[in-house]
Amino acid sequence: MKTIAITLLFSLSISVSFAQLVSLNATEITALKQQIKKDGRAKKLYANFKILADAYLDEVPNPVDTIRTEGLLKGNPKKERTALALKDMNKMFILALEFKITGERKYLNKSNEFLIAWAKLNQPNGDPIDDTNLDNAIEAYDLIKENIPASDKIIITDWLKRTALAEINSKRMNRNRGTGINNWNAHRLKIVGEIGYALNNKEFIDWTIDRFKKHIEVNLNEDGTSLDFKDRDAMHYHIYDLEPMLKLALLIKRAGGEDFYNYQSPKLSSIKNLLSG
C-alpha cells in the first residue's frame, strides 16, 4: 500500500509535498536512498515496500472507462467496479517510486504500462469527487515523465489534460453555489493544480491560483469554520474540504508561489484559521 511509502518518507524527515513538483525531486530521491541505506527503521520499511513493488510486476492493469464513486451506495455495481480499478493507483505510484530508488527499468516499464492503460481507456466526467482518486496516477507520472518514451508521454498528458479541462468546464464549477463552492471545489482545484504543475501547464496553474483565492474567501470564515462545516454540521466534511486545500497550498509553495497557508482573503479567512479555529 502507498501508506508504507508515505510512512517511509515521513520517517526520513524529507519533504514529501508532491514534487518534481508533484512527486519527489532528484535531491529528495538521493536523500531517501541514503536514509534507506543508513537507517535501520527506514531499511525495514523499505523491505516491505519492495515486496509490494515486486508483487505488482506480475499484476495486469485494470482500468475503468469512467470513475464512479460519488453519490453511489456501497454495493452498487459501478461503485464496486471502480473500487477494484482504483487499486491500480497505488500500484503505479509504488512501481514508479521503486524505479527512482533502484533505477531498474522493469519497475519503470510496469508503472508506465498502468498509466498507458488508464490513459487509453478512462474518460473524465468532470466530477472532482471521482477525479480526486487520481492523485497517485499524477504523482506516478510526475516521477517517471522524463524516463518514458515520447509517444507514451503524449498519450498520458492528453488524458491528464482532458481530465483538467473536464473539471474546468464543468457546469457545476460555474455555479457560485453548492458544489461550485463547497468541498467539491477544493478537490477540483487540487486536481487541476496537480495536473498543471505535473505538465508545466501555465493555463491550468493560473486558473487554479486565481480560483483558490476565491475559494478561501467564499468557503472559509474568519472564525476558522468552513461552509461545509456549517452546512453539514459534520467534522468529516470540514476535514474533507481542508485536506485538498492543504495539499494544494503545499504544492504552490513548493513551486515558489504564494504562501496560501497564511494567505488571508478580504474577509480575513484563511487556511491557517481553519486549522486553529
Span 124-168, pLDDT tens digits? 999 999 999 999 999 999 999 999 999 999 999 999 999 999 999
pLDDT at 177 (0 to 100) = 76
Of 55-69, 86-100, 186-200, 228-242, give the lowest mean pLDDT range: 228-242
pLDDT at 23 over 50: yes
The mean pLDDT value for 97-111 works out to 98
Q: 148: which DSSP letter?
A: S
The mean pLDDT value for 99-125 works out to 98
pLDDT at 19 over 60: no
Chain centroid, CA 242 distance in Å: 14
Residues 6 or more apart whose CB falls under 8 angstroms from that of 58 comprise none
3-state SS, residue 95 = helix
Which single residue is written with the C-alpha cell 501555465?
Answer: 202
pLDDT at 17 over 50: no
Mean pLDDT of the residues in the chain: 90
The mean pLDDT value for 96-120 works out to 98
pLDDT at 101 over 70: yes
Count of other CB atoms within 10 angstroms of residue 262 = 12
Q: What angle do CA 164, 170, 171 make, to 5 degrees?
A: 170
The mean pLDDT value for 186-213 works out to 97
Distances (CA, A) of 107 to 16, 170, 246: 21, 36, 30
Q: Are 170 and 126 in contact (CB under 8 A)?
A: yes
CB burial class (10 A; 0-12, 13-18, 19+) of residue 172? middle
